[in-house]
Amino acid sequence: MNAPRSGPAHEHESDVSAAETKKGADLLKQMVRVRLLEEKCVELYSAAKIRGFMHVYIGEEAVAAGVTSALDSEDAVVATYREHGHALLKGVSARAILAEMYGFVEGCCRGRGGSMHLFDRATHFYGGNAIVAGGLPMAVGLALGASMTARRQVTVCFFGEGAVAEGEFHEALNLAALWQLPVLFCCENNLYAMGTALVRSESQTNIALKAAAYEIPAWTVDGMDALAVAEAARRAVDAIRSGGGPHFLELRTYRFRAHSMYDPERYRDKSEVATWMERDPIDILRTRLSEGGRFSDDDWSAMHAEVTAEIEDAVAFAEGGSPEPVADLTRFVYSEVPR
C-alpha cells in the first residue's frame, strides 16, 4: 500500500493563539462527543443491542465538528449512512439517536430508520441516506427551495469520495453551478469507497479539481485538523450566504475502523491504518491546546467526564425505550385522504 496522503495544513499542528483557545476547546468537545458515542455504538452492537448495518465515524470527527461549527441552526445538513456524528452535532440528541438505533419509538424516526437513516426535521437534519451519492440531488433540491423562497439557509451535503463515480455527483454539481444555489458540497475523502481504494477507481484523484471543472470554488483541506476544517467551512459558508453560489471542500480524512461492522477489512495494510492513527484529530487538537498553556489535564478530565455522562444518559434512555405497537404497522405508509 502507498503511504497515506497528508493534507496541506500540518503547519497548524503547533502553537495555538489565544483567539483560538475557546474555539478549539469547543471543537474538541464536539469531537469527543462523536468519538464516545461511536465507541458506545460499537459496544452496544457487539452486545446485539443494535442490529442491522452500522458504519461508525471514528477518525473522521474533525470534519463534522469543523463544518457544523460554521452553520446556523436553520441551515440544512444532508449526510450519508455514516451519519451519527453529523446528526449529533447538528442538534439531534444522543438520546434520540441511540433510541433510534435500538429500534424504539423514542428514536428520532420512531425506530423506523435505524443507524443508516437518522432524520430530524426540527434540526434540519435530512438524513442519513443509504444510497451512495443519493444525498447530492436532495441537497440541490433543498438549496433550490431556499433560493426560490429567498431564505438565507445554506445546505451542506456530506458524501464520500466513492460518490464521485456516480452520475448524481456530476448532475448535482452542474445544476448547483448553473443555478448558483446556496449549497456547500463536503467530500469526506477517506481514500476507500467501501473496500476500493481511490487510486483504483478514479484516474483523477484530486476531487477538488473535478468540482472546479464545474466553475465551483473548490479546495482541499486537512480533514484531520478541526481548526483547519472550521476555518475553511466558515470561509465557504460566508461566501455562499453572501450570494457566492455553491462551494466545494475536499476533506482528506481517514476512518480508523472498517467500512462497517460486517467488514473483515482485508484491503488495507495494518501499517497504513497505524500511520493514520498517529494523526488522531482529537489528539492533534488536544495537544495544540495543551501546548498553548490554556488547556490542562484537569480541563480534559472534566470535559471527558461531562461527555461520558451525556452518553451514559442516552444509553439509559434507549434501554428504557419501547417498540412501536403492531397496530401502528401501516402508520406513515398510507395517507388518509380527508372525506
Domain range summary for the chain, segments of one domain joined by +: 10-320
Instruction: Please give the average per-residue pLDDT across 276-302, as a whole number.
Output: 94
On the question of pLDDT at 6 being above 50, the answer is: no
**Closest C-alpha among 25, 77, 32 to residue 57:** 32
Instruction: Please give the average per-residue pLDDT across 141-156, as a whole number.
Output: 97
Cell 461531562 sits at which residue? 306
> 62-115 pLDDT, tens per residue?
999 999 999 999 999 999 999 999 999 999 999 999 999 999 999 999 999 999
Which range among 146-160, 178-192, 293-307, 320-334 shows the weakest confidence by mean pLDDT? 320-334
**Which has more confidence, 138 or 265?**
138
Is the domain spanning 10-320 CATH 3.40.50.970? The answer is yes
> 177-197 pLDDT, tens per residue?
999 999 999 999 999 999 999
Rounded percentage of the chain residues whose pLDDT exceeds 70: 94
Q: How far is CA 115 from the centre of its chain?
A: 13
pTM of the model: 0.91
**Closest C-alpha among 68, 42, 40 to residue 55:** 42
